[in-house]
Structure formats: structure tokens, C-alpha cells
Amino acid sequence: MKKKVLIIGSGLGGLTTALRLASDGYEVEIVEKYHQAGGRLNQLQKDGFKWDMAPTFFSMSFEFKEFADYVGIDMPFEFIELDPLYQVNFAGSDKFYTVYKDLKKLAEEFKDLEPDFERRMQQYLKSAATIYHDTEYRIVKKNFTSLTDYLLQLTRVPIRNAPKMLRTIWKEMEKYFTSYEVKVIFSLVAFFLGATPFDTPAVFSMLTYTELVHDGYYNVRGGMYKIVEGLLDEMKKQNIRIHYDTEIVDYLEGKDGLRGFIDQKGEIWKADLFVVNSDAAWFRGQIFNRKGYTENKLDRKKWTLGPFTMYLGIKGKLDHIHHHNYFLGNNFQEYASKIFKNSIGLEKPYYYLNMPSRHNPDTAPEGHEALFILCPVPDLRYKPDWSDREELANNIISDLSQRIGYDIQSNLVSKTIYDPVNWKNMFNLYKGSGLGLAHDLNQVGGFRPNNRDEKFGNVYYVGSSTVPGTGLPMAVISSKLVTQRINHEQKSVYKKQSANQ
């Protein structure tokens, strides 16, 4: 008889694990708190507009290809490669710097700012490529059985990478570049990890290598939510059922492990194995009441930015606006070091603008544009009260109107705001942290909450706050790691059980 797996959560990690395990012969069922699938990779539809709720691009498209091959399906959605990758504007300037994948075009764009840009960037990328390839299979795509196992594995990473563990991304930029703007623009990748270049280890300079060389950036035809819709179609074919509006709030312990989870209505969900796609640290504390994950202990960990997101629909066309755009001030270091702890005002916020209607015209009615704005803000530990959110929204709208030369306020036909309180409530994100646990060296690899439960031999984890980390490609890798682990460990458990019968 097929072994049954229950997955808690239908984020990208949960959905891809469901399909991998189903293709390996397990019977799979999912319970999901929210009213539709996708977790943070979700969609908002309103007033004739469609917005991707959070992710607007991804890199490392080869991880999706690996997934489709594993499951034995055609890619269930269509990639669109983005080039240029993004634009950056600094306050007080009309100039929009364009980041191209092509190094020659990129060098042309930055030649006035950074003498010898092409050579410098080549050297930076060479060094970033080294750390990427030296850690890809030794650390990132690897399950660890214990902290000792992880530390042993670390010793296999060539020593030439050691300085990057000690330096920050900003310090690494300073080694190669002199221009302030260049350093700021190419260290923005730290924000994709939900942190800043001043507290993110230089090992993550590998992200610049993945964006400029080893793949690039991708959007999806029809919008990012097509990923989820494509996966749901495949799941139907495999008879994988999802039960929405079902939140796990408690558990039932058995003799040999976990017997089941209990939802908010008191219904018990039983299975042979369980995979938790809810935040791996929060869940251990909130549901399993583990001593290592009390609120006090979780508060002392480093968490990623709180998202303040806006979904705007406007009358008129903005033909001069690219897919991804960053609007920054001129006090990057001060802003980055203070924003996460709420010790700087939000009158002049830094923010990101995505215009989904640029590549996917059906996301806005004829003659309109859909705009998505993301502003990194303190999580709820530092700013629990968001009753002033309209003020921040208005600051951003008026700043953006001025910088792009278009009066957004008078052309607004739809507006929705999600602050960290909304994000926390929608998907159980700890204190509204958008990307889960941060990626400091003491919170990655063997130091990150493991994808196997400490107590129950039949409980596993997948997603942002377990290994390897945050972002869409990492969620896909996380599903690969947990599937490998389940197949490896459970086969030996079942072999042992049948030998004893």
C-alpha cells in the first residue's frame, strides 16, 4: 500500500515537494491556511487588475528544469528572460542606471562613474563564480545529518573562500569598485536575501554571478502566479488534493512518532509522514512548543525585512518604465543600517517598483497600468503598530510621481496595501518577516533549522526557514533536499519494520 504524506502549506516548497513525492509513489494530500495556493507566491485580483503578490522574478531557472525532469513533466509554465535586468534611480537625479546582462553594454552604462568598469566587474564576477561553484554541491544542495557533519563539509570548501565569510558584501564591493553608485547598485542583491549589504557575508556576492552570468532573471508569461497554476494542473493529474482554509493549530503524538495534526476546527489529519512548509522555526515553537523556539529565543534570531507592499492600478500608460525599478535615496549606509530597527523615519523611503503590465498586458485593463511597490520596513518586533501606514503609502506615491513625471494620485483607480501585520496573518510569517530567517553564517547550513524534525522521525520541513534558504529557486532546491532525505530515511525505516514483522 502507498505511504501517505500530509503537507502543511502550499507555498512553492510545499507544491514542488508534493509533486516530487507523488512521482516517487507516495499518496500526497495538502492542508493550507489561506484560501488559495502559492503561499507568498500568490496573486491578488481586484478592480480588473492582477498583481503577483510578492515574487516578481527569479533566477536559477535550471532548478525549475531539474524539478520538471525529476517529476517527469513538461515545464508547466513559460519563462521570459529579462534583459535589461533592472533600473536604479537615486533621489535628486533624473538619471536611471540600467543594468544589462551583457557586460559590454553594462560597461558603457557605467563608464562615466567607474573607470575600467569592465575589467573590475569581470574580476568581481570571477571571484563570485568561484564561491558559487565551490559551495553549490558541498553546502547549498546538501542535506546535513548533524552540526558536526556540516562543519566537516565546510572544511571541504576550498580555503580561498574563507575571507568572504568574514567580509560583508559591501566590503567586497569596496575591494573592486570605487564609485558609490556602482557599489550601491551591485550590492542591492543583499536585499533579495531580506538583509543589507552591510550585514550580509560576501559569500552571497554569488547572487550577482547568478544574475549577470549564470542564468539571469526570469519572469513568467502571464505573470508569476502561472507557476502555481501550472503546478496545480499537474497535481490534479496526480490526484493530489488541497484543503484550503485549513490551519494546523495542534498535533497528536503517537507511540512511534507523530500520529496527526489538528486544524482550527478540531479535525484530525492523519498520515504516515508529514512535511511542514510553514516557517520551520515558527512552527517548531508555535505548534510543537519546543524550548529552543520560544518567542524569546525566536526574537533573538536574525529575521529578514518586513514587507510593506502596495498594489496600484492607474489610468494611463507608462511606456518609459521598466519591469524592475529601484528608487533609492543618497544616504544608503545610514538608511540600511537603521531601517530594520525602526530607528530612521520613513518620510523618504527606499522602494522597489514592478510594473507587471509591461510584460503581461492582461494584468491591467486597456489604457491602464498595474504597479506593485515593495518597501522594506522593520518587522513587528521593532514596529508593531501600522496604524500610520497611509502616511508611508502617500510618501511613496508622491515621491514616485515626481521621479517618473506622472501624477499617480490623480490617476489612481485601485489601491491595496499589505503591511507586516497583514503578511504575518496571511501566511504565519514570524513577526511579519518577509523572507524568513536571515542568512548570517550562524543561521545557514547546519545552523539553520534542519529539514528533519528533532523529535518525530516522521516529520520533515521544506521552505524558506529551513535549508538551504529563501527565494523561489531555494524553495525548489529545498523540496529536492527533503525528498532525498525522505526517500533515503524512510526506505530504511520501512525495511527495518518489515524485517521485524
Ligand X SMILES: Cc1cc2nc3c(=O)[nH]c(=O)nc-3n(C[C@H](O)[C@H](O)[C@H](O)COP(=O)(O)OP(=O)(O)OC[C@H]3O[C@@H](n4cnc5c(N)ncnc54)[C@H](O)[C@@H]3O)c2cc1C
Contact footprint for ligand X (CB under 6 A): 8-14, 31-34, 39-41, 54-58, 247-248, 277-278, 307, 309, 374, 427-428, 434-435, 463-464, 470-472, 475
Rg (CA), the chain: 23
Question: How many distinct helices (H) and strands (E) make up the chain?
Answer: 17, 19
Is the distance from CB of 225 to CB of 38 less than 8 angstroms? yes
State the minimum distance, in angstroms, from the CB of residue 370 to ligand X: 16
Specify the amino acid at residue 256: D
Cβ proximity to ligand X: between 307 and 378 the closer is 307
Find, among 146, 269, 253, the residue nearest to 261 by Cα: 269
> Mapping DSSP to helix (H, G, I), strand (E, B) and coil, where does residue 351 land?
strand
State the minimum distance, in angstroms, from the CB of residue 406 to ligand X: 24
State the minimum distance, in angstroms, from the CB of residue 77 to ligand X: 14
User: Long-range CB contacts (< 8 A, 24+ apart) of 152-161?
Assistant: 153/445, 153/446, 154/445, 158/134, 160/130, 160/134, 161/130, 161/131, 161/134, 161/135, 161/203
Cβ proximity to ligand X: between 120 and 214 the closer is 214
State the minimum distance, in angstroms, from the CB of residue 37 to ligand X: 7
SS (H, E, C) 44-93: EEECCEEEECCCCCECCHHHHHHHHHHHCCCCCCCEEEECCCEEEEECCC
Cβ proximity to ligand X: between 75 and 493 the closer is 75
Cα(481)–Cα(17) distance, integer angstroms: 9
* Placement of cell 497583514 in the chain: 422
* Placement of cell 529536492 in the chain: 480
State the minimum distance, in angstroms, from the CB of residue 478 to ligand X: 7
State the minimum distance, in angstroms, from the CB of residue 496 to ligand X: 31
Cβ proximity to ligand X: between 37 and 202 the closer is 37
State the minimum distance, in angstroms, from the CB of residue 499 to ligand X: 36
Cβ proximity to ligand X: between 378 and 463 the closer is 463
State the minimum distance, in angstroms, from the CB of residue 227 to ligand X: 10
Distance spanning both ends of the chain, measured CA to CA? 16
The dihedral of CA 431, 437, 438, 443: what is its sign?
Answer: positive
Cβ proximity to ligand X: between 192 and 406 the closer is 192
Beta bridge partners of residue 307, listed in sequence order: 376
Cβ proximity to ligand X: between 40 and 322 the closer is 40
State the minimum distance, in angstroms, from the CB of residue 452 to ligand X: 17
Cβ proximity to ligand X: between 368 and 424 the closer is 424
Q: List Cβ neighbours of 2 (8 Å cut-off, separation of 6 or more).
A: 25, 26, 27
State the minimum distance, in angstroms, from the CB of residue 203 to ligand X: 18
Cβ proximity to ligand X: between 406 and 447 the closer is 447
Cβ proximity to ligand X: between 8 and 107 the closer is 8
Cβ proximity to ligand X: between 289 and 409 the closer is 289
Cα(452)–Cα(432) distance, integer angstroms: 25
Cβ proximity to ligand X: between 110 and 282 the closer is 282
Find, among 14, 77, 16, the residue nearest to 244 by Cα: 14
State the minimum distance, in angstroms, from the CB of residue 125 to ligand X: 20
Specify the amino acid at residue 161: N
SS (H, E, C) 254-302: ECCEEEEEEECCCCEEECCEEEECCCHHHHHHHCCCCHHHCHHHHHHCC
> Mapping DSSP to helix (H, G, I), strand (E, B) and coil, where does residue 430 land?
helix
Listed in sequence order, the DSSP H helices in 304-388 are 332-339
State the minimum distance, in angstroms, from the CB of residue 123 to ligand X: 27
Find, among 421, 449, 455, 470, the residue nearest to 147 by Cα: 449
Edge to edge, what strands does the sheet with 306-315 contain?
96-99, 86-90, 324-328, 351-354, 368-377, 306-315, 412-418
Is the distance from CB of 381 to CB of 430 less than 8 angstroms? no
State the minimum distance, in angstroms, from the CB of residue 54 to ligand X: 3
Cβ proximity to ligand X: between 106 and 189 the closer is 189
